[in-house]
Amino acid sequence: MNDTTALAPDRLAEIRASVERAHTEIGQVCAEGPHHRFRMSVPAQPGRDTDLIISDALKGAGELLAEVEKLHAQRDRLLALHEYDELIFGGFICVHCTPNDADDPDDNIAWPCPSLRAIGVDNDEGNAIILARRAAIARKAAQEAGAR
Ligand SMILES: [Zn+2]
């Protein structure tokens, strides 16, 4: 699977249309009752048969889930690459974006850095990430202390 290829806008439009068709079809089945409306034909008619309309939407849902999982993995890799470090006197910098030879504190790149902000990581999420990592560190320390 090519990790950089996103679902094409045309395919997204098809999925949206198939979900809307399925929504309308289910509404009609509910309104008219399954014995009157649930349609299955031999030979199959994809644009008419209730089961095919619904299964087409579910196929699209599967593609969307795969896309979301891929995007989450990409996001996790970016978060791992743009790791933070906490400064002794307060504040957080991006270890990846801040130059290694920074002599001037003005050279520090605050975390979340512009790369993370570009994927939607704001201060609130940054704070949540920091608090979650601190909690994980505290849990691990408590487990290790209990093991002694
Ligand atoms: Zn960064």
C-alpha 96 – ligand 1 centre gap (Å): 5
C-alpha 131 – ligand 1 centre gap (Å): 19
C-alpha 94 – ligand 1 centre gap (Å): 5
How far is it, in rounded angstroms, from Cα 137 to Cα 123? 21
Cis peptide before 43 (omega within 30 of 0): yes
C-alpha 95 – ligand 1 centre gap (Å): 7
C-alpha 69 – ligand 1 centre gap (Å): 22
C-alpha 80 – ligand 1 centre gap (Å): 10
Other CB atoms closer than 10 Å to residue 70's CB: what's the count?
17
Cβ contact 112:79 at 8 Å: no
Helix or strand or coil: residue 98? coil
How far is it, in rounded angstroms, from Cα 70 to Cα 51? 29
- Return the domain boundaries, the chain: 9-73, 84-147
Q: How many CA atoms lie within 13 A of 80 on its CB side?
A: 6
Cβ contact 58:96 at 8 Å: no
Q: Cα-Cα-Cα-Cα dihedral of 33, 39, 40, 41, to 10°?
A: 150
C-alpha 111 – ligand 1 centre gap (Å): 7
Mean pLDDT within 46-55 = 94
pLDDT tens-digit profile of 72-131?
Answer: 999 999 999 999 999 988 899 999 999 987 677 778 999 999 999 999 999 999 999 999
pTM of the model: 0.74
Tokens at residue 92, please? 């957080």
